[in-house]
Amino acid sequence: MLDKLLITGAAGGLGTLLRGRLFHVATSVRLSDMVDIGAAGENEEILRCDLSDRAAVAALVEGCDGILHLGGVSVEKSFDEILPANLVGVYNLYEAARASGLPRILFASSNHTIGYYTQDTHLDADVPLRPDGLYGVSKCFGEAVASLYHDKFGQETAIVRIGSCFPEPRDHRMLSTWMSPDDFVSLIDCVFRAPRLGCPVIWGVSDNDSRWWDNSAAAFIGWRPKDNSDVFRQKIDAAMARPAADAPDAVYQGGKFTAEPIHRS
Amino acid sequence: MLDKLLITGAAGGLGTLLRGRLFHVATSVRLSDMVDIGAAGENEEILRCDLSDRAAVAALVEGCDGILHLGGVSVEKSFDEILPANLVGVYNLYEAARASGLPRILFASSNHTIGYYTQDTHLDADVPLRPDGLYGVSKCFGEAVASLYHDKFGQETAIVRIGSCFPEPRDHRMLSTWMSPDDFVSLIDCVFRAPRLGCPVIWGVSDNDSRWWDNSAAAFIGWRPKDNSDVFRQKIDAAMARPAADAPDAVYQGGKFTAEPIHRS
Amino acid sequence: MLDKLLITGAAGGLGTLLRGRLFHVATSVRLSDMVDIGAAGENEEILRCDLSDRAAVAALVEGCDGILHLGGVSVEKSFDEILPANLVGVYNLYEAARASGLPRILFASSNHTIGYYTQDTHLDADVPLRPDGLYGVSKCFGEAVASLYHDKFGQETAIVRIGSCFPEPRDHRMLSTWMSPDDFVSLIDCVFRAPRLGCPVIWGVSDNDSRWWDNSAAAFIGWRPKDNSDVFRQKIDAAMARPAADAPDAVYQGGKFTAEPIHRS
Amino acid sequence: MLDKLLITGAAGGLGTLLRGRLFHVATSVRLSDMVDIGAAGENEEILRCDLSDRAAVAALVEGCDGILHLGGVSVEKSFDEILPANLVGVYNLYEAARASGLPRILFASSNHTIGYYTQDTHLDADVPLRPDGLYGVSKCFGEAVASLYHDKFGQETAIVRIGSCFPEPRDHRMLSTWMSPDDFVSLIDCVFRAPRLGCPVIWGVSDNDSRWWDNSAAAFIGWRPKDNSDVFRQKIDAAMARPAADAPDAVYQGGKFTAEPIHRS
Amino acid sequence: MLDKLLITGAAGGLGTLLRGRLFHVATSVRLSDMVDIGAAGENEEILRCDLSDRAAVAALVEGCDGILHLGGVSVEKSFDEILPANLVGVYNLYEAARASGLPRILFASSNHTIGYYTQDTHLDADVPLRPDGLYGVSKCFGEAVASLYHDKFGQETAIVRIGSCFPEPRDHRMLSTWMSPDDFVSLIDCVFRAPRLGCPVIWGVSDNDSRWWDNSAAAFIGWRPKDNSDVFRQKIDAAMARPAADAPDAVYQGGKFTAEPIHRS
Amino acid sequence: MLDKLLITGAAGGLGTLLRGRLFHVATSVRLSDMVDIGAAGENEEILRCDLSDRAAVAALVEGCDGILHLGGVSVEKSFDEILPANLVGVYNLYEAARASGLPRILFASSNHTIGYYTQDTHLDADVPLRPDGLYGVSKCFGEAVASLYHDKFGQETAIVRIGSCFPEPRDHRMLSTWMSPDDFVSLIDCVFRAPRLGCPVIWGVSDNDSRWWDNSAAAFIGWRPKDNSDVFRQKIDAAMARPAADAPDAVYQGGKFTAEPIHRS
């Protein structure tokens, strides 16, 4: 069990979903974001931090023995908006970790690193990257940094390519990409309790009938997701039309992100 | 949901098993065969058709937005018997579909396209073909036609290599090849409801303990078979002797078909 | 060395290129075609034959200990034109061979069995088929027949997927697909002299700098092509413009065949 | 069902676990070991035998129609201690089987044939061997003998690379390697009832969440393990500290065996 | 033939080697660097440009129909030194290309994207990245940008992972990684004359006896390197001692880069 | 360059071929065999040694910084004849090497470790073993010992699976398996001069047109064979009939070894 788990991006969607649910993983958590997170609960500590501020990140990481790195931009934006947190910030985080005794990191990567694969393609962890936007490119960068710090310094990272983590899948594509919050919690547990982690790529997806991704290479960490998006299929069918066969949401694993333009700042 | 699903070969074994079970897939069905099928039930339409008759096939397909192509010879016969429905007929069907707006097709292919692989071989969807008779060759031809019409015109087809679809497995080999009718129904449902299908090869087999075939490449359509032939194992053991170790039924995936001669007309 | 080599399609392009060049392979050759081939030369025998005539094909094959099967339609045509020689004829040929002691066969298959792969794809002998027309489909059928007769009867066939066999490459695409007549002759020699052949797929292509196809699985027959289309590159560049980047000749391995419609008879 | 199953190494750990549990596999069992096994029970026969004694092994095998070969050294020892049973003895056993009509063999191989793969590696049945000691080398030898006798004489063997077969997993590494005795019993049943076995490599492991090994190539024998070590995780966490990240038990699949020296006799 | 080829980084090592050697590829060249390049020769145009200046890069690219992107930091440096040209600059370049009609790009990537693979590993173009420093990470970023602009806009890029391009190999490791300037020139020629390029990864290495990299997936562009470092082996053996077996230059494909620390600005 | 190279089996066929040809690899050689080798030449030292004598082997290895291990039985014999040198002797050799500072070893393994693959199979270095006799099994054992000592102690070994090393190929099968003595000499040179070797499997075969084996994984050692058996083809065709299609010499890579019985002592 960890003494102190740092959670970056704690005010975001994933951070909010997970708040209060990780006390079996860590005795205490340090929550951080650029924006206000509210008051600290029991065994919580709150530190506001801009990930592009190298010194601030060093202070943020200091004293933590695990990091759940959810921070940074998580949708398609302009390069100038992505640069500070997702490029500079990731470098800052890994340098801070190196200076702080290499606490294990779960890096929230994304399916948007491979979003241009079509939905009829089955992917294992070794496929070449095909990002679907500048956000996806920034996650490719983060994966490369994680790999470098593992090979050079032994820094361990679980590179989790998250599909869609919400209480329920929200559209037809998410029937394939959904990861339930419960399954994410059990994944986090597996990542931090494994005696040895290395630097594996793990697909962050539940046991959905229509999954695209193969996690067998990471079976060693012992994560077996329990939820299946199929129980929500009728609800989604009732709520919205299926996407057209040539809609990005039906063609590409990255869905609508592939149809985004390059944003200008 | 489809408006009208054409089922060819409706008088055959598979057609009979499925009759009346697909009204959640299509509002109405058009049943067709060379031979008498009996009277039409509610939401059924019956059209007798010889698949080798180009004009008749065009009329048959007209007005359907989905096709379950079970028709044609389904056992080893002479070339002259296989030619009309399985070669000419398949060409006619795809040409008719092209003229009718490319209704999605489920093409009943067969394990006899790969019947000469031995039973200790694990097959994915990409293995080279090894047909075990002229019937198997005709199904290889049909798969090639499906691929052509997909690449050239965008015609979508689920190429389903059916193992053995009966209410129960009938011998020891079928413990590996059996697909339950329920699982076939759920497969048909997945094929016709997928927002985008493409032209995948799908192994038509239940979740049998001793399966030979790997459907992970087609996981994207969301089919997860629920039945397992193992519940019938003791019954089969009681009813008949296991095949000898060098019997075709124990050696080859295609079983006895590999021992068939070339039939003369 | 063979006693008598049957060459079907002897009046066609390949047959003409090879005529008179195979006397180190066989003491005598039997030339056959539907159309007139002219007078027989020394050690030549000429037999006119329609491949769709089962009895005629039986007579044609009788007494030969090797078959170079070049006959049949070799361009995109209507199904009704392809059916007699390329479907019925191939079946007739294999049945005749079976009745005549299984003379080894070199089956002229085609790159049009895989013509829809893009030109930036590297193919080995095991890739799934992707025919680019009905002609390509008919060659897929022929390959399936060859496989069947090998598994069932031990009939040996070299399935040669010919690229473009002409004295010189004729356009930019052929810089990748060209097989020189000399290399074809040496391939024929290797096929018929190998102590044991089996039923391998062999890419019929010279040692071109820009080849797409990998013959290493068939290295055991000892064929090492000596020619390279690159010596013709400047000549082709001078003679014609390069194809546009989105022209079928620049996109697909099958080139212009992919742009052919389905021909009606 | 077998008439008489020979179990070698019957006095050892595995032999003791299995005793009395295989009467649905064989009408009677012949138990053998170098050391005393106690009195024979019903349908049991006891034969003391030194596996390095060629004539004794021939007598031992005589009259059996199945062999469960658990005998020999099963931990790291000196070469001189391993030689008699694990090298000479295995040769003796296969020669005896050949002289006795090729009774099917389940050969207890070991994860120590591949012990130097790291725990973050996912292995299928075809990976090159990486033994972690002289014991592991002796099992590589046995696997080679099994392969030879299969190819040369048709002798069938299930090469079972046993993980850790105990009533419960005993440490953190065994959460990955554990095979429950129940699952071993069902595996033995599948091995001896398969109409045709061949010579497959099978990973002897339960359906553990953190398994490293992929048995899909052997799915044809129909073994589906039912147990999962994960139910013991909390108990193990409570009983002992997790291994350090650089401890052999956390780094290598073979665990502590990789840290053993070469023993001198 | 191109009208105007932009060469960035023209004052660097590669730029200097190539200067004046590409007039068969392009009628004129635009040379660019941050530092002085000297006077323009015939058919040369010189434009000083800081790649991190978005507007300047847009002007630089304007009017060019091909880009040889050699610019940016090419050795291990601090993140703050790598950021402007290798991250921001690459983004600027691709945005400029997009605004200028998508001129084809040869992107000089590096073996340092995969530098942590050991020298006994054979790599094809699809292996996961393993950068050996921040420089390598920046090239991973560039490859991701190239992939994105290809999938989203059709921008074509040859991603050339250059080994060591010097007149001669300079040490023992370069016997594996060397690409002769002549071979680089012929590669550039192939890249810009291919009718269709796509976005392939190409290993920039000559036909060295001890090469580690497999270019068969990119054979379609028709590049066949002619030089072989082996002719320099004796000279190198005479000039310097071989590296120790555990020296980075003998262990890792990236050589000494793997031993570099993270540089601080 | 080595100071002293030990050559075991120096009186055998390979030893005789190589004698006097390795002085560019080592300043002096120590020749050893069980039988008389004749008088020592310049820079030669001769030591008679029985490989099954542990102390003698220790003395033999002492003072050598490289070992060319050709010793032991090299044809199919009885287990009792193979045991002393090929099992005990290999263990003795590796223990001696470990005690003597881990001199690099070239271990003469054999194609008979994989002899049951058919000749139409293309093998890379990772294929599962399929020995064709007890001799082949003993070489599998040796390969396992080499792997163990590499993983456990860092002992480097080139595992060379020699095809057929004679001045000329002697029959049709050897057109595929032949390694010229010159190519063997250059291979030995590459093995001992590589800065880092590891423990690769290398196919000992010349650049024959009809080779079966793929050495690309070992390209890093820089060996490029120069000879090609094809120049001897006509001579062999003239000297002997080709093997029948079902003769072991035409079916299996191991040739006649597959037809050998198990020898009794």
- Give me the pLDDT at residue F221, please: 96
Buried-exposed string A75-105: b where 16+ CB fall within 10 A, e elsewhere: ebbebebbbbbbbbbbbbbbbbbbebebbbb
CB pairs below 8 Å between B and C: how many? 91
Residue of chain E whose alpha carbon sits nearest to that of C211: E220
- Give me the pLDDT at residue F4, please: 98
Q: What is the pLDDT of residues C125-181, one digit of tens each?
A: 999 999 999 999 999 999 999 999 999 999 999 999 999 999 999 999 999 999 999
D196 touches chain B (CB under 8 A): yes
Q: What is the pLDDT of residues B133-180, one digit of tens each?
A: 999 999 999 999 999 999 999 999 999 999 999 999 999 999 999 999
- Give me the pLDDT at residue D265, please: 74
Strands A157-162 and A104-110: what pairing? parallel
Asked whether D and E share 3 or more beta-carbon pairs under 8 angstroms, the answer is no
How high is the mean pLDDT of chain D? 97
Residue of chain E whose alpha carbon sits nearest to that of A144: E137
- Give me the pLDDT at residue D87, please: 98
Of E208, E212, E242, the CB nearest to F195: E242
Q: What is the pLDDT of residues A137-175, one digit of tens each?
A: 999 999 999 999 999 999 999 999 999 999 999 999 999
| Residue E178 backbone class (left: φ over 0; alpha: ψ -120 to 50; beta: rest) | beta
Which positions in chain E touch C243 (Cβ < 8 Å)? 195
Instruction: Tell me if F122 and C200 make a contact (CB, 8 A cut-off).
Output: no
Which positions in chain D touch A197 (Cβ < 8 Å)? 120
Q: Enumerate neighbours of F (3 or more CB pairs within 8 A).
A: C, D, E
Q: What is the pLDDT of residues E64-115, one digit of tens each?
A: 999 999 999 999 999 999 999 999 999 999 999 999 999 999 999 999 999 9
Q: Enumerate neighbours of D (3 or more CB pairs within 8 A).
A: A, B, F
A195 touches chain D (CB under 8 A): yes
Percent of chain C with pLDDT over 90: 99
**Which of E157, E199, E220 should be substituted to probe chain C, the one whose Cβ sees the most C Cβ atoms within 10 Å?**
E220
Q: Which helix (H) or strand (E) holds B162?
A: strand B157-162
Which positions in chain A touch E159 (Cβ < 8 Å)? none
Q: What is the pLDDT of residues D26-66, one digit of tens each?
A: 999 999 999 999 999 999 999 999 999 999 999 999 999 99
Residues 6+ away with beta carbon under 8 Å from F261: none
Instruction: Tell me if E216 and C245 make a contact (CB, 8 A cut-off).
Output: no
Q: What is the DSSP letter of D229?
A: G
Of F128, F132, F137, the CB nearest to D145: F137
Which positions in chain B touch C134 (Cβ < 8 Å)? 91, 148
- Give me the pLDDT at residue E265, please: 73
- Give me the pLDDT at residue F265, please: 74
Q: Which of residues 97-156 of A touch D (CB under 8 A)?
A: 156
Which positions in chain B touch A244 (Cβ < 8 Å)? 195
C216 touches chain F (CB under 8 A): yes
Percent of chain C with pLDDT over 70: 100
Percent of chain E with pLDDT over 90: 99
User: Nearest CA to CA, how far is B116 from chain C (Å)?
Assistant: 7
Report the candidate in F51, F13, F55 with the shortest Cα–Cα distance to residue F166.
F13
User: Nearest CA to CA, how far is A38 from chain E (Å)?
Assistant: 34
Q: What is the pLDDT of residues A230-244, one digit of tens each?
A: 999 999 999 999 999
Q: Which residue among the candidates E94, E116, E117, E135 is catalytic per the annotation?
A: E135
Q: Say whether pTM exceeds 0.95.
A: yes
CATH architecture classification, A2-259: 3-Layer(aba) Sandwich (3.40)
Which positions in chain E touch A255 (Cβ < 8 Å)? none
Residue of chain E whose alpha carbon sits nearest to that of A99: E262
Report the candidate in E234, E227, E221 with the shortest Cα–Cα distance to residue E194.
E221
Q: pLDDT-based confidence at D259, cuts 50/70/90?
A: very high
pLDDT at E140 exceeding the cut of 80: yes
Q: pLDDT-based confidence at B59, cuts 50/70/90?
A: very high
**Residue count (chain E):** 265
Q: What is the pLDDT of residues C187-229, one digit of tens each?
A: 999 999 999 999 999 999 999 999 999 999 999 999 999 999 9
Q: Is F135 known to be catalytic?
A: yes
Q: Which residue among the candidates B116, B117, B135, B149 is catalytic per the annotation?
A: B135
Environment class of F102 (CB within 10 Å of its CB; exposed 0-12, middle 13-18, buried 19+): middle
B258 touches chain C (CB under 8 A): yes
CB pairs below 8 Å between A and E: how many? 91
ipTM of the complex: 0.98
Q: Residue B135 in contact with residue B82, Cβ under 8 Å? A: yes
Q: Enumerate neighbours of E (3 or more CB pairs within 8 A).
A: A, C, F
At residue F111, the 3 state secondary structure works out as helix
Q: Residue E114 in contact with residue E76, Cβ under 8 Å? A: no
Which positions in chain F touch E208 (Cβ < 8 Å)? 222
Strands C2-8 and C66-69: what pairing? parallel
Encoding tokens for residue F254? Answer: 């191991």
Residue of chain C whose alpha carbon sits nearest to that of F177: C220
- Give me the pLDDT at residue F215, please: 97
Which positions in chain A touch E152 (Cβ < 8 Å)? 116, 132-133, 258, 262
pLDDT at C265 exceeding the cut of 90: no
Quote the CA–CA distance of C91 and B78 in Å, as a whole number: 11
pLDDT at E29 exceeding the cut of 80: yes
Quote the CA–CA distance of D182 and D194 in Å, as a whole number: 18
How high is the mean pLDDT of chain C? 97
Percent of chain B with pLDDT over 90: 99
Please report, in tens digits, the pLDDT of each residue of chain F (265 residues total).
899 999 999 999 999 999 999 999 999 999 999 999 999 999 999 999 999 999 999 999 999 999 999 999 999 999 999 999 999 999 999 999 999 999 999 999 999 999 999 999 999 999 999 999 999 999 999 999 999 999 999 999 999 999 999 999 999 999 999 999 999 999 999 999 999 999 999 999 999 999 999 999 999 999 999 999 999 999 999 999 999 999 999 999 999 999 999 998 7
pLDDT at E147 exceeding the cut of 80: yes
Strands E2-8 and D164-165: what pairing? unpaired
Residue of chain D whose alpha carbon sits nearest to that of A197: D120
- Give me the pLDDT at residue A96, please: 98
Instruction: Tell me if C210 and E216 make a contact (CB, 8 A cut-off).
Output: no
What residue type is B74 in one-letter code? Answer: S
Residue of chain D whose alpha carbon sits nearest to that of B121: D217
Tokens 């490989």 correspond to F51
F176 touches chain C (CB under 8 A): yes
Q: What is the pLDDT of residues C100-131, one digit of tens each?
A: 999 999 999 999 999 999 999 999 999 999 99
Which positions in chain C touch F211 (Cβ < 8 Å)? 219-220
Instruction: Tell me if E250 and F196 make a contact (CB, 8 A cut-off).
Output: yes
Strand ranges inside A101-191, DSSP E: 104-110, 157-162, 164-165, 178-179
pLDDT at A265 exceeding the cut of 80: no
Q: Which residue among the candidates D94, D116, D117, D135 is catalytic per the annotation?
A: D135
Instruction: Tell me if E175 and F217 make a contact (CB, 8 A cut-off).
Output: no
Measured torsion, CA atoms of residues D54, D60, D64, D68, in degrees rounded to the nearest 10: -80
pLDDT at E211 exceeding the cut of 80: yes
User: Nearest CA to CA, how far is A151 from chain E (Å)?
Assistant: 7
Catalytic residues of A: 135
Instruction: Tell me if E195 and C244 make a contact (CB, 8 A cut-off).
Output: yes
Q: What is the separation, in whole angstroms, between the first and last Cα of chain B? A: 43
Percent of chain D with pLDDT over 90: 99
Which positions in chain F touch C1 (Cβ < 8 Å)? none
